[in-house]
Structure 1
C-alpha cells in the first residue's frame, strides 16, 4: 500500500497519528455498535445475542489529525466449545498487535466475573499498551448517580489510562472517545486510502449481514449454532450495465435438524423474512440489485469439529 506524502486535512506527517485500537469486552458489551458509531457507518453486525462477532473486523476512522483503525473482536469468555476457544484465540492474537485497547463494559449491568476475567487478561499486556476503560450503553441508565457508581466500580478493575462513559445509540461522548484513542496512537502516515471504511472482503460482509438477519427473533440456544458461508457472488448473465443483477448464493449452517426447522419456519416464512431483511442490507452495501439464494443445511456439531470449523472459516 503506498505511503501518502501528506496526512489528510493538511496536518504535517510529524504531527499525524495512525494505528490500531482493539475493542474488547465480554459478549454483548456493545463493542460492535460502538465500532459502527465511531466509523460513522455499519461495518460490524449487531445483535442482542451474545457472541455475534466471530472474527476481528476493522473499521477505519478518518480524522484530520489521525487515522484510527478499530478492530472489533469477539467477546472474550470462558469457552465451552472448540469454536469458543478459537474465538478467544482471535482476541488474544489481536491484543498482541494493536497500539491501544478499549475495554468495553455495559453501564446497565454490574461488574461481573466476565469483566474481571478480561481485566486479568489485559493486566498481562506489555506496559507500553495503554488500556482505556469504556462504560458503554449509558443511555440505558438515566440516573447520573448510578453511572458515577459504575465508573467507580470500573476504576477498581485495573490501572486504566482513561475511563470514558459513552452511548453509541445517542452519540454521547463518542467523539470524546475517538479523541482519547487517537491521542494514544503513534505518529505516522495514514495506513488506508481516504474514504475507505473497512478492509473486510465483500463476501465476509455479505455473510455477516445474512447471519445478523438470521439471528433476529430466534431461540436462545440457536445463535451459537448458526454459521453462514457465501458460496458465490456472480453477475447475472445477459443483463445490461443499466440493469445489473448480482446472484448471491449463501448457505446457512446449523447443528441439528430441529434448528433447521426453526430457521426455515412454517412453510418457509421465516427464511423468507431473513432473505428480505438481508437483501436490503446487502444491496445497500454493494450498491447493486441482488438476487439472494438462501439454503439451510445441517453440519452436525460443527462447533466442536475441527474439520468442519476449518470448512466454515474458523
Structure 2
C-alpha cells in the first residue's frame, strides 16, 4: 500500500513577481486576488490539492519587503510563519526583478529545499539567455536545488512544477480534511473580491489605505446577502472612494457582485458602506480588529 504524503509549499517572492497568479494555477481556483499593483496580497492564503495519495498545501504570501509600518510588519510575519512551516519553498523571481540583500539573506537561511521559479520569461529579449539568468540567481541564493523557468501569465511550463513538489513531499497524514480547498472562510473571499475591485478602480493611494470587513454574510437557498464595510484612513479618501453621487463606489459594487456570483455560484445582494479608521495601517489595535494580528 502506498504511504500517504502531505506537506506545506510556501510560495515566496517580491511584490509583483506573479506569485498569486502562479498559486491560482497550481490550485486550479481563483483563491488569491491578482492586480497589476504591487502588495495586493496582505495575508497568507492556503490552497490545497487533494488526491487519495497526497495533500499539497500551497501558501501564497505577501510580497517580501522591508517593513515601513505596522501593517507591513504583520504581512512579513505571515511570510515568516509560512517559511517556518514549509517542506518546500517555491522562490518566485520575475524576469526583470532586482532582489535586495535582506531577501537574499532570509532565503539563504531556509532549511528546507528551495526551488527557483523564474517567472515572466515571456519578457526576455532575444539576446537574453534563460540559462544565464538562472545561473545568476544561483550565485545569489546558495540553497537553490532546482530551477524552473515559467510564464504564469501565459501558463507556460507551470505543469513542470507539480512533479517537483510531489518528489519532496514527506510521508505524513493530511493536515486538513481532504475535501477542503482552503483554510479561509467565505467572508474572507468576499472581502478580497471587493478589495481587488478597489485596486483596479483607483490610483495609488486609495487601494493601500483601504480595508474591507464583511459585517454580514447571510446565505439562503437562492441568494447570499452580503454587507461590507470599507475602511479608509482619511475623510478625503472616503470622498474619493465614494465618488460623485456615489458613482465610483457603485462601480466597485457592481464589479464585485459579478465576481462573487461567479465565485460562490449563487445570486449575490451586496451592500457597501465606507467609514474612516484613522491611520489603521499603523495602529496595532486596529490591525488586530482587521485580522492581521492575534
TM-score normalised by length of structure 2? 0.92
Match of 1:255 in 2: 233
Moved over 6 A (4+): none
- Alpha-carbon distance between aligned partners in 1 of 2:224 and 2:219, rounded to the nearest angstrom: 4
Aligned with residue 152 of structure 1, among 135, 145, 154? 135
The alpha carbon displacement at 1:303 in A equals 0.6
Residue range with higher mean Cα deviation, 204-213 or 164-173: 164-173
Match of 1:132 in 2: 115
Residues 67, 182 of structure 1: 8 Å contact kept: no
Residues 251, 296 of structure 1: 8 Å contact kept: yes
Match of 2:265 in 1: 287
Match of 1:277 in 2: 255
Q: What do you get for the CA RMSD once the two structures are aligned?
A: 1.9
Residues 229, 273 of structure 2: 8 Å contact kept: yes
Aligned with residue 20 of structure 2, among 3, 11, 32? 32
Match of 1:170 in 2: 154
- State the SS of the aligned residue for 1:291: strand
- Alpha-carbon distance between aligned partners in 1 of 2:106 and 2:128, rounded to the nearest angstrom: 29
Aligned with residue 102 of structure 2, among 111, 117, 125? 117
The alpha carbon displacement at 1:174 in A equals 0.9
Aligned with residue 307 of structure 1, among 270, 285, 288? 285
Q: Which runs of 5+ in 1 are unaligned?
A: 1-11
- State the SS of the aligned residue for 2:72: helix
- Alpha-carbon distance between aligned partners in 1 of 2:157 and 2:177, rounded to the nearest angstrom: 26
The alpha carbon displacement at 1:45 in A equals 0.7
Aligned with residue 72 of structure 2, among 84, 105, 112? 84
Match of 2:195 in 1: 211
Matched, 1:97 2:85: yes
Match of 2:2 in 1: 13
Q: Which runs of 5+ in 2 are unaligned?
A: none
Does the C-alpha gap of structure 1 residues 66 and 145 become closer, same or farther in structure 2, counting only changes over 3 Å? farther
Residues 111, 153 of structure 1: 8 Å contact kept: no
The alpha carbon displacement at 1:193 in A equals 4.7
- Alpha-carbon distance between aligned partners in 2 of 1:56 and 1:120, rounded to the nearest angstrom: 21
Residues 111, 154 of structure 1: 8 Å contact kept: no
- Alpha-carbon distance between aligned partners in 2 of 1:136 and 1:265, rounded to the nearest angstrom: 37
Deviation string, structure 1 residues 190-214 (Cα, Å, up to 9, x no partner)? 4445553222111111111110011
Deviation string, structure 1 residues 274-305 (Cα, Å, up to 9, x no partner)? 11111112112222211100111111110111
